[in-house]
Structure 1
């Protein structure tokens, strides 16, 4: 028995007995078998984060049990996404005849040595200036960006990333070849493209590339005098920490994003929501609810229809959706399911990525609450969207659904779902 398992076993038994709850009753509350919980209490098996959250909520332990289970934080190799200096890099985008593609920023001298760019397209200052003087140029690239965001809500990242990267590169080139104030306009637009590329690469399963693109977006925005994206990047990086089950890092980055009162209210509101998710992951019910309330107060004052807005555009009322998300992590899956079921009905039908993401969390909540047949029915619906959008973050919750329903192998609904779920979980990573 390792020290962590022993300590958790001792504290679980102490808290359970102090609450006057039998092992059988606890098993009913958390939807695990009595035999399995007995192995946890004797230290034979280590407790996972999911079980710790459920026991914590069932026994009103105030986060004490959750704190005893280590969360997997980012490794040193993944900490900032930039282990090489790519200053003065050449962007290499390889397009295969099969439709697949890959991207890599490399040192200019390495690209030249490899014989890259056999077909060169020169963007001269004269060409850039001529394009910049046309009123339709910026507006056209902004319209293209908005259309790609719509496409990205319903398709795989592989279908939008090559075009997004190419457009980002073009805008970066226009910015280099023009003078103020057009330079700043092109840089700002390029930064929005790059930020969205970062989100799509995370959805494709490449966190390191997501961090690199987000940082590149910040650098371009800063050069344009737009400091808002720097704050938003902290919210984006906090999301990566959240999916790594790193509660402390999620809260830390989210609080940094809220530190400057000059930061736009919408970004501070989104940061507060992310902070609440971090508190929920840590099992801190009180702080989570307080932070959700603060986020609500901030976001209810925002009314932006700007197509260049940072953050989610598919979910019109993100606060209640995040509250449902948090309740699952707080070990209250039945409450989470009730809220998520209502909020999902307000999602646009075309937002397949959002339907898959929050639908998976809804199905997971039903599974955790012991409603296995309902969870399986919902998971089939989630897979209808997930198979289209090819989302790494959705697969994160689908794996948890798979582990949860595996405890009911004799259920016909489980046997019917498992082959399709297994196929979806083995989709190739970007």
Structure 2
């Protein structure tokens, strides 16, 4: 079977069949898989059915056209009773060399997209400790400065650490998609959301597949995407999360995002039914103050957003206030989002003057480089809430002008981006 690749469809090009690993002299993962499968008397279709993969995908692995994943190797070991034989074969199989592609005349973002297409599904990797610090430090950068860092990270030469590479590439794609959305480049963001889902699906871990869809749906609420489309994403996310119930982070993300989408659709009873389950998963989730785990202030933010979407304004406000107390001072956008969320709760509980005061202060005091799609999505909800309940309140016109300003619109991004200026 021959596969082709275009600029917008990242599919790997087949390479010749398996060769022995130069490092160990033993068979590659694909060759070892074929030997063990045949020794067990199973066909490709039989093995694929047992481990939940397509038989054509396994055939490509055996021929050396795909590398497979660590999770697939573990599942095959379990089904074939081979101990850790296949897992070790996977670990010692070298990654295929990265092919270069001309990028003359392309901006850094387009170049990074092409590199992701070339690498699919083989991905870069860094040590876990370095990765944790790097992801944590990104949150202290505004979106227009964060994007060049992500693009450069995607272009970094690979380090031979197979155990982390798939997860890291998925996270990079998600972060680029979220950052592009923050900068108002929604069309570009769609490609990266798609790439993240494809990478997660290729890895075959339900928890990661679920998180990719939940994060896209959460972003879609700020973008103003069609709610039926977002509901479909949350349905998929919850179905996948249920396949890996021990991943409380995936379950929490899936249930919280689904509750918000259902509430936006007016299906409040269904959304309310998810609240007790959501809170129980939040209690089970291990906290993390650094790295990519859930920090306590993020947990309070998730709980507050669900409460606010259901009209529990007082509970939501308390959650946001707790989150604000714990949110690091250097994370200006996240602090602004929490304050604006509190203002939305004030508006919902008919405290319009307080809502307008908080929202206008945040938009005026927040430096322009920290203004994003996400900030203005909440500010617009504050404006709508006050206008609906107290339409004659002084200050509405002023907030309307601030919300219409949107200083990030049209701003250039990339390695040559100047975050202090926007194109008029």
- CA pair 151-344 structure 1, distance change in 2 beyond 3 A: closer
For structure 1, list consecutive stretches of 5 or more residues without a partner in the other structure: 1-81, 112-130
Task: Please say if 1:393 is aligned against 2:374.
Answer: yes
Aligned to 2:268: 285
> What is the aligned counterpart of 1:352 among 316, 319, 332?
332
Return the structure number with greater relative CO, CA threshold 8 A, min gap 6: 1
Q: CA deviation at 1:90?
A: 4.7
Aligned to 1:300: 283
Q: Pairwise mapping of residues 12-411 of structure 1 onto structure 2 (< 5 A)? A: 84-87=8-11, 90=101, 102-104=109-111, 138-139=127-128, 141-143=130-132, 145-152=134-141, 155=142, 157-170=143-156, 173-174=157-158, 178=160, 182-221=161-200, 226-243=205-222, 244=224, 246-259=226-239, 260-263=242-245, 264-305=247-288, 309=292, 315-328=298-311, 336-337=316-317, 340-341=320-321, 343-383=323-363, 384-385=365-366, 387-402=368-383
Q: CA deviation at 1:158?
A: 1.0
- Alpha-carbon distance in 1 for matches of 2:225, 2:398: 30
What secondary structure sits across from 1:350 in the alignment?
coil
Aligned pair count? 308
Q: CA deviation at 1:159?
A: 0.3
Q: CA deviation at 1:357?
A: 2.0
Give TM-score, length-normalised by structure 1: 0.59
Tell me if the contact between 1:314 and 1:351 (Cα under 8 Å) persists in the aligned partners: no
Q: CA deviation at 1:162?
A: 0.8
Q: CA deviation at 1:276?
A: 0.7
- CA pair 183-401 structure 1, distance change in 2 beyond 3 A: same
Q: CA deviation at 1:278?
A: 1.2
> What is the aligned counterpart of 1:423 among 405, 410, 413?
405
Q: Deviations over 1:270-328 (max 9, x none)?
A: 11011110121122222112101111112211114385546777514344312333134
Aligned to 1:37: none
CA RMSD of aligned residues (A): 4.0
- CA pair 306-315 structure 1, distance change in 2 beyond 3 A: closer
- CA pair 107-427 structure 1, distance change in 2 beyond 3 A: closer
Q: CA deviation at 1:211?
A: 3.2
Q: Deviations over 1:58-112 (max 9, x none)?
A: xxxxxxxxxxxxxxxxxxxxxxxx993244695959899xxxx75456769xx9x
- Alpha-carbon distance in 2 for matches of 1:174, 1:426: 33
What secondary structure sits across from 2:270 in the alignment?
helix
Greater shift, 239-248 or 192-201, is seen at: 239-248
Q: CA deviation at 1:374?
A: 1.0
- Alpha-carbon distance in 2 for matches of 1:416, 1:242: 25
- CA pair 214-414 structure 1, distance change in 2 beyond 3 A: closer
- CA pair 351-325 structure 1, distance change in 2 beyond 3 A: farther
- Alpha-carbon distance in 2 for matches of 1:338, 1:308: 26
Q: CA deviation at 1:340?
A: 4.1
- Alpha-carbon distance in 1 for matches of 2:212, 2:165: 19
Q: CA deviation at 1:402?
A: 4.1
- CA pair 106-272 structure 1, distance change in 2 beyond 3 A: closer
Tell me if the contact between 2:286 and 2:294 (Cα under 8 Å) persists in the aligned partners: no
What secondary structure sits across from 1:315 in the alignment?
helix
Greater shift, 404-413 or 360-369, is seen at: 404-413
